Amino acid sequence: MNILRYGHDAYDKIVIDGISWDMLPVAVVAALAVIVIHQVRRASRKRGQ
Amino acid sequence: MSTQLPEKLVRHAGIDRAFHWLTALVMTVLLVSSLLPIMGIRFVWLELHWSSGVLLTVLVLLHIVRALRGRNGRLMKLRRADFDELKGTLRPGKYSLQQKLIHLAWSAAILVAIITGVVMMVKAGTPFFTRNPYILSYRSWGLVTLLHDLAALASVFLILVHVYFGLLPEKRQYLRSMVGGTVRREELAADHDLDRVARGE
């Protein structure tokens, strides 16, 4: 999995072009992780009541 | 003091609700127009993307002016004391610590997207700017694009988390107030300190 996209400048030097779109699922998975952690905490709090 | 509050409280004025839902619509258009081509769905996306970006910029500028002129901006300001909510020694006023934090994250992501987006409009060429890809070096364009991409990924994360919390049954009062504008006093009292709300905190 690539983190960044790379290109070449006028002198053929490698330069950063932006974020690799391989990272798009990472943003989705990070959000899902927050949701799962919150659901687990919510369920354990309900069980404790 | 909390008894002074009416049975139904106006939580979000009509103009703030309009800002919220218009921003949601524009953000959706921006993400769809930029991410679908990456996923292989080809269409003429650039005009739709930059024109939505211009609309977002106008909305955000109006929101900032309104926040600075009224007391809404002060209500959303993150203070050191807000972290006492985590210890349970302080209950939230109008906005909870979590709501202030996600607003701060949204502000950072959207401002980065707008600033880098405006610079990228010079490279792309729009009716607002004469096309000039030479104002920055190739390396600098890469860094501007990197920041714009990061703002887009942060927005994907924030939208998913925001929609999830908005749909939770125990948070439904916030969603209802963002649709209808009002919240019932006893409903708000479950999670907020009504005295702080009455004091305008």
Binary contact (B161, A34; C-beta < 8 A): yes
What pLDDT, on the 0 to 100 scale, is given for residue A8?
92
Q: Which region, left, alpha or beta, applies to residue B150 given φ > 0 means left and ψ of -120 to 50 means alpha? A: alpha
Give the percent of chain B with pLDDT over 70: 99
List chain A residues with CB under 8 Å of B149: 18-19
What's residue B96's pLDDT?
96
pLDDT value of residue B1 = 53
| Rounded CA separation B168/B174 (Å) | 10
Distance CA B98, CA B103 (A): 9
Give the per-residue pLDDT at B2: 56
> B57: which strand partners?
none
- Pairing type for strands B182-184 and B8-10 reads antiparallel
Mean pLDDT in residue range B11-23? 97
Nearest CA to CA, how far is A36 from chain B (Å)?
11
User: Which domains does chain B possess?
Assistant: 2-199 (1.20.950.20)
Interface size A-B, in CB pairs within 8 Å, comes to 52
Residue B175 burial by Cβ neighbours in a 10 Å radius (0-12, 13-18, 19+): middle
The one-letter amino acid code at A27 reads A
Does the structure show a pLDDT above 90 at B151?
Answer: yes
The nearest CA of chain A is from the CA of B46 a distance in Å of 17
Q: How far is A10 from chain B (nearest CA, A)?
A: 8
Tell me the ipTM for this assembly.
0.92
Distance CA B151, CA B35 (A): 13
The string over B183-200, giving b where at least 16 C-beta atoms fall within 10 Å of a residue's C-beta and e elsewhere, is bebebbeeebbbebbeee
- Band (pLDDT 50/70/90 cuts) for residue B70 is confident
Q: Counting beta carbons within 10 angstroms of the beta carbon of residue B128, is it exposed (0 to 12), middle (13 to 18) or buried (19 or more)?
A: exposed
Q: How much is the pTM?
A: 0.92
